[in-house]
Structure 1
Amino acid sequence: MLDKLIMKLLIVTTEKDKSCERIIEEAVKRKIIVRRVFYSDMCLHRLEAKNFTKFDFCILRDPYNTGKDFSIYLRTIMRFFKGNVLDFNTYMHYPFYEDKLFQHLLFRDIARMPRFWHYNSNVMVDIDTFPVVVKKRIGSRGRDIFLIKNEGELRSFLSGKEVHEYLFEERIKVRKDIRVVVLGNKVIGAVEREVRFKERAGYRGIGVKVSSRYKIQKDMKEKALIVAKRMECDFCGIDFIVDDNGKGYLLECNVSPQFTSSERVLNINIAGKLVEYIVGKIKEQ
């Protein structure tokens, strides 16, 4: 808990960020002064260092659910804070670390990952295994993940789209879908999620819903920590699946994950732990 230190925290986020509400709630409990700013309200030419000097620390929440690239805003704000940003080292590599294709290349020596395809033009597409999972390379909260059933549907899906913006993965029959939450190089919990299918934009969208606590195995825990370390994340959610044969796969690492459902299922105050972690970083200075 804070004693005599009065901290001022800036959070930059999107308008539909439920986890941000929890962070603010826990910060206010600790008498931290919080200001929340939305990416959509920012003007790049108005971002000046003098407007940020009153803040001790900044949380940059992942903006990619907006469908817009705010990388230049992230980098500009980071310069003003000189390192006092959650996941600072990770954001230094943005948007590369957000790119699902880049993550495939970054993590392939850590854990088994699904077979993937990537193409630079529509005429190059030669996938011969269906159904296939299609993911937008840069995106979040599962909005651009689809299960495409055959070649005809794939051609229709790609019509009018830039194929290089998408990653294609083999469809694996999932027995378990798992989210591992890592904070400060420690696993603070893991949850199992129910995979759901929903019609989205005329295609079969793939989503998940947290369903229960998951007792994480040693091997998966070790791999999650290696992934977080390689991504240089302070706080992240790492996704795994287990197939019908018990074989595990690493899917991806999510910076600034949503966690309200995980808090409820795990009965762990993730927001509180995150705020205490930030307070600790400030006190170390």
Structure 2
Amino acid sequence: MRRAVVLVVAAVTLLGGCARPPAPAATDGDLVNGWPMLPAATLIEPVAPACYPLPGGTASADVTSWPAPVACTAPHEVELISVGRFTGADAERATPPSAGGPAMRGAYTRCADDAKTLLGADWRSGRISLSVDVPSPLLWDAGARWFRCDLQALQDIDRFSIASRTTSLRGALSPDGGELRIGCVKVTTKPGGAANAIDRIFPAPCTQPHEGEFAGIYEPPAGEYIADGDARSSANLAGCRPVVAGFVAVPDDANFRSRTGLVTMPYDKMAWELGNRGVRCFVWPPKPVHASLRGAGTKGLPITIA
């Protein structure tokens, strides 16, 4: 029986910066040549919305090396959609919040909600990457307490290649035709590999022959990340079965495995600890189809395996 493919994506980027150096020793605050000290450095907080062109499409860990923001009608790779602030005990920490803590989980929830509002649907249902970017320890020590919600469009589903755009991502996942929504897909297996060893998953028109279709997202219950790969794969498959069955409108019963296979695409441990436990679920019928399987019922997925 067909099994699952596991793909990973990291969700957190730390941004760097600079801080004001101390005055030279044995001076009264003036430079040694008698000139007055330069004004104290001012922390510049990010302002949303803004778009950023990034050479190579990859965000540097040092925010000071980023180019200046541009209009979202100019070529860019990152869209900053909102900025939040850590407050209370979270802001009094000596170092930035860690990915597994409640402060970062709260920041992720805020960013995911803001992304859904902008995109028109859960960001995980499209060719989109969401990152929660926080100040570097140096900037944090200087007083920065912001976090950024950044989006990037992807060229594909499985390799996470960043796409350059000349428009905002607003509405990119809207149900009435968002261009980055994941729908029907071509599924290829590795040459010479096992029958269930998936190699690539490509977007494909539903009107042309294709091997699979995005059915929805399974959200596992909160808890510890399952360290054992086989146990994690089994849990994801079990969780995606009712998602796929509901999408196609077939019974989730003993005959389900005789109708179709599944592809599961979870995020990684870092994403889990950040609060993104989602698993993307794909229906994978035994032979290519020529139309969407949404609501197709038992006629769309008949029992084909004894």
Q: TM-score range by the shorter chain?
A: under 0.3
Bigger CA radius of gyration? 2
TM (norm. structure 2) is 0.22
TM (norm. structure 1) is 0.23
Q: Which has the higher helix share?
A: 1
Q: Which has the higher strand share?
A: 1
